[in-house]
A and B are shown apart, each in its own frame.
Chain A
Amino acid sequence: MRIALADDSALFRQGLELLLAAAGIEVILSVRSGAELLARIVDPLPDVVILDIRMPPTFMDEGLKTAESIRESWPKLPVLALSTYGETTFANRLLSPDPAGRGYLLKDRVDDLETLVTALTRLTRGEAVVDPEIIRQLMSRPRADTRLESLSEREREVLRLMAEGRSNSAIAADLVVSGKTVESHVASIFTKLGLLSKTSDNRRVLAVLTWLRGAR
């Protein structure tokens, strides 16, 4: 796998390159800003672009802007955004309008080589990836809406995995149940939360995230 990397901390880039090398992943481009990345990215394209969200010049949301530019120029190029803080508003922006091949992870997740490699692999397959920690925070948030509490323990687990961007088959494998069981859980969840069903695995990530963010 070939990676392009943009992060303003040379130290972090160096560490990440080191770690990815250990997993046999090659960093073909390592730059300190989104603008530099867009300027230097060439064919053959990398398999995934890893972006820090906060980069020069304004240190606000340059990573997201870069991701938007990438979506315009190379819609199919997967992007993994890294952030020191888990901000769901950033996750939503990154994943909209099409979450396919878009990932959002916390920075301190990346020393877990297995998680990182899994995320990169899922992205190359066109899946969406949302950091489990962010989903955990969202689901444990106190809210006036009691619909979430009406879900069974199992359904909550399914919801969490959906929000992380897992497909039905991945959820089934994870929970060691059949695909049909997962499907019925999903249908039940959608009914209980009042969401539109019949969405693709990727699209439903956004729906679930939006619901989790909005219904307080």
Chain B
Amino acid sequence: MSSLARKVGVLSETTATSCPFPPARQAGVLAAGIGVVSSGLWGLTIVWPLVATTPWLAFAIVFFGLCLVLAGLILSWESSQLMSSVALAIAGILWPLGWIDSWGGGPRPLIAMYAPPLAIILGAYAMYRYPDPVLLRHKDRRWLAILVIWVFVGRTLVVVTSRPSWYDEPELSWWPNVIEHRQTYDTVLTISHTGNAILALAFLVAWIQRTKKATRLPGSFALPPAAAGVIAGVTQIISSLISGYVTDPLFKAAASATHAWVLSLVPIAFVFSVLRRRLTFESVGRLIQDIAGRPTPVGVQECLRSALGVPDLTLVFFSRDMGSYVNVHGTRTDIHSIRVPSLPIRASDGKLLATIFVPSLGQIPAELVASVLSAGALAIENAQLQAELQAHLAEARASRLRIVEAALLERRRLERDLHDGAQQRLLALKLSLAAIQSADPERAKQLLAQARADAGSAVDELRALARGLHPPLLTQAGLAAAVEANVERLKIRSRIDLPTTRYPFAVEATGYYVISEALTNIIRHADATSVQILGDQMGQWLRIVVQDDGVGGASLQRGTGLQGLSDRVQALGGTLTIESPQARGTAIIAELPCE
């Protein structure tokens, strides 16, 4: 896991910290149910007096509190978010306390004064820690402390400079007013509210920056909370500004209700995001487990199929060695014919590893695809190597088969040549001789001449055939002499510069074969006026170049002749290259190991 985590990089933080969901799902659901119901009852109890006067406000308050508790409970599924979860639950419990003053005086107005800002701060804290608490740095903590201090100092200053009645609270309330001075109070209130608005704005900016950082990979998980956060933040600013200057109680109540409804968006977005993340990471976690047990190309394809839930996914690897695509069975594949949405998979260094083809790619959440591909990156890279190896083996096998077939074909051709040529001539000769036995002397003389001619032809044909099998000069005098003798018979201008060194038999024979076949091709297809046959020994390699000035356009893929050449050269451990630009001649370059 550790090496995989390192490889997977960004995602590892999130998978490592947030993967384990408590297995006791039923107990969790039960706890969530109890939590939601009791927090609903709690909220309803506190705002009960409002239900009669402004029910829409009461419900908005209870609803937001409920949402906070629910978000907290659901967030508790992610162990790394435990603090956020607790913060949200406390915020949900605190929030309705902001309206506990509807029950009357005593300590209640004072509680109502402090509870909502505390709830908002706790909510902000939870938002800030999501989705990645690791990113909550020292600087951020200090900033949160400033926020807390500002809000509470501001509130306290407002309280100590005012009377409860200025807040429409009963005079009998607990109210530790020290100086009760309207002008000071107004100033403090304005500063406090403006400061709140500025802090809310600062929070928003910091939050957006942080979210950007956190959303490098499983991107859109943070997007819904971020959007809700922006909306809520703006509402908070407006609300802060309004509450300082508006006195109409009904308008104030409407503003509070709107505020609560809008704020509810944030926990709802949280719940949405957490559920999505959970779904994704469940399949990613499964993928990592599965892939470890099936590290083959086919296995990796199967794992990707089940992780993404698409049985018709096709994984095609890219082989840079071969310059082509290779399927999971190690067979060369032409991907241009596949008309299906595709996604390239790249290694950490950016080189193309593979491509997946999924007909329903557009319907799969992008972050799921990204997470799955990230989690599977190492396995895909290994599988790519395996598939490439398989493809190489298959090529080698095919090449060997082609050599065997070519040899068999050659033997068949030989048999045909012998059967149709020399053998028939010798049979005819036998028939002539038989006829001579029963012929009169004059006729016999004629037939004997015929028989001699037949015998001569048979000898000629056998000689030609034998030379085609293996030129005797090659053994007797080496490559240079044999090639010269061969070229002499051709009607083409030529320059031959081959080493006169003697090489091992296989090297000379292969070299001769390459040159002869190249010459045959030139005569048949190239429409050339001259040819150069050059040889050069460089260390342990004999490099032979056959260059013509013909039409060009030859390639290994076109025509089996050159493929056969390449196979023969490869069988010896050498390489065959063809340079054949259109209309600019063809160079066939064979490099043979010669020691």
A14→B420 CA distance, assembly (Å): 15
- Contact size range, A: 20 to 34
- Binding site of A, secondary structure by majority: helix, strand, loop or mixed? helix
A14:B419 contact, CB within 8 angstroms: no
Q: 1/0 per residue A48-66: CB within 8 Å of B? A: 0000001000010000000
List of B residues within 8 angstroms of A23 by Cβ: 438
Which 3 A-B pairs have CB atoms at the shortest separation, nearest pair first?
A: A15-B431, A111-B434, A111-B430
List of B residues within 8 angstroms of A14 by Cβ: 428
Please tell me if B416 contacts chain A, counting CB pairs below 8 Å: yes
A84:B454 contact, CB within 8 angstroms: no
Which residue of B has the minimal Cβ distance to A82? Answer: B427
Which residue of B has the minimal Cβ distance to A9? Answer: B424
A166→B439 CA distance, assembly (Å): 31
A9:B420 contact, CB within 8 angstroms: yes
List of B residues within 8 angstroms of A12 by Cβ: 424, 427-428, 431
List of A residues within 8 angstroms of B390 by Cβ: none
Interface residues of A in 40-78 (CB under 8 A from B): 54, 59
A36→B481 CA distance, assembly (Å): 48
B424:A108 contact, CB within 8 angstroms: no
B419:A112 contact, CB within 8 angstroms: no
| A-B residue pairs in contact (CB < 8 Å), sample of 7 | A15-B430, A19-B434, A54-B419, A107-B427, A110-B427, A111-B434, A112-B434
Please tell me if A113 contacts chain B, counting CB pairs below 8 Å: yes
A84:B423 contact, CB within 8 angstroms: yes
- Whether A15 touches B435, Cβ cut-off 8 Å, given contacts A108-B427, A111-B430, is yes
Instruction: For residue B414, give the distance in angstroms from its CB to the closest CB of chain A.
Output: 14
A19:B431 contact, CB within 8 angstroms: yes
- Whether A11 touches B424, Cβ cut-off 8 Å, given contacts A22-B439, A59-B416, A84-B419, is yes
Please tell me if A187 contacts chain B, counting CB pairs below 8 Å: no
Interface residues of A in 1-51 (CB under 8 A from B): 8-9, 11-12, 14-16, 18-19, 22-23
List of B residues within 8 angstroms of A22 by Cβ: 434-435, 438-439
Q: 1/0 per residue B396-425: CB within 8 Å of A? A: 000000000000000000001001100111
Which residue of B has the minimal Cβ distance to A21? Answer: B435
Instruction: For residue A120, give the distance in angstroms from its CB to the closest CB of chain B.
Output: 15
A4→B423 CA distance, assembly (Å): 23
- Whether A11 touches B428, Cβ cut-off 8 Å, given contacts A84-B419, A84-B423, is yes
- Whether A19 touches B420, Cβ cut-off 8 Å, given contacts A9-B428, A12-B428, is no
List of B residues within 8 angstroms of A19 by Cβ: 431, 434-435
Give the contacting residue for B433; candidates A8, A9, A54, A111; CB below 8 A. Answer: A111
Please tell me if B220 contacts chain A, counting CB pairs below 8 Å: no
List of B residues within 8 angstroms of A107 by Cβ: 427
Give the contacting residue for A18; candidates B423, B424, B425, B431; CB below 8 A. Answer: B431
A11→B425 CA distance, assembly (Å): 7
Instruction: For residue A202, give the distance in angstroms from its CB to the closest CB of chain B.
Output: 29
Q: 1/0 per residue B154-190: CB within 8 Å of A? A: 0000000000000000000000000000000000000
List of A residues within 8 angstroms of B430 by Cβ: 15, 108, 111
Please tell me if B432 contacts chain A, counting CB pairs below 8 Å: yes
Q: 1/0 per residue B426-463: CB within 8 Å of A? A: 01111111110011000000010000001000000000
* Interface-centre pick from A14, A19, A107, A113 (highest chain B CB count, 10 A): A19
List of B residues within 8 angstroms of A15 by Cβ: 427-432, 435
* Interface-centre pick from A8, A11, A12 (highest chain B CB count, 10 A): A11
A15→B423 CA distance, assembly (Å): 13
A18:B416 contact, CB within 8 angstroms: no
A84→B428 CA distance, assembly (Å): 13
List of B residues within 8 angstroms of A59 by Cβ: 416
A110:B431 contact, CB within 8 angstroms: yes
A11:B434 contact, CB within 8 angstroms: no
List of B residues within 8 angstroms of A16 by Cβ: 431
A110→B431 CA distance, assembly (Å): 7
A111:B431 contact, CB within 8 angstroms: yes
List of B residues within 8 angstroms of A108 by Cβ: 427, 430
List of A residues within 8 angstroms of B454 by Cβ: 11
A18:B435 contact, CB within 8 angstroms: yes
List of B residues within 8 angstroms of A8 by Cβ: 420
Instruction: For residue A141, give the distance in angstroms from its CB to the closest CB of chain B.
Output: 23
B427:A113 contact, CB within 8 angstroms: no
Interface residues of B in 262-289 (CB under 8 A from A): none
List of A residues within 8 angstroms of B425 by Cβ: 11
A112→B430 CA distance, assembly (Å): 9
List of B residues within 8 angstroms of A112 by Cβ: 434
A113→B427 CA distance, assembly (Å): 13
* Interface-centre pick from B432, B435, B447 (highest chain A CB count, 10 A): B435
List of A residues within 8 angstroms of B427 by Cβ: 9, 11-12, 15, 107-108, 110-111
Interface residues of B in 364-419 (CB under 8 A from A): 416, 419
Instruction: For residue B317, give the distance in angstroms from its CB to the closest CB of chain A.
Output: 43
List of A residues within 8 angstroms of B431 by Cβ: 12, 15-16, 18-19, 110-111
Which residue of B has the minimal Cβ distance to A8? Answer: B420
Q: 1/0 per residue B227-243: CB within 8 Å of A? A: 00000000000000000
Q: A9-B428, A15-B429 are in contact. List 17 more A-B contacts (CB 8 A).
A: A8-B420, A9-B420, A11-B454, A12-B424, A15-B427, A18-B435, A19-B434, A19-B435, A22-B434, A22-B438, A23-B438, A107-B427, A111-B427, A111-B433, A111-B434, A112-B434, A113-B434
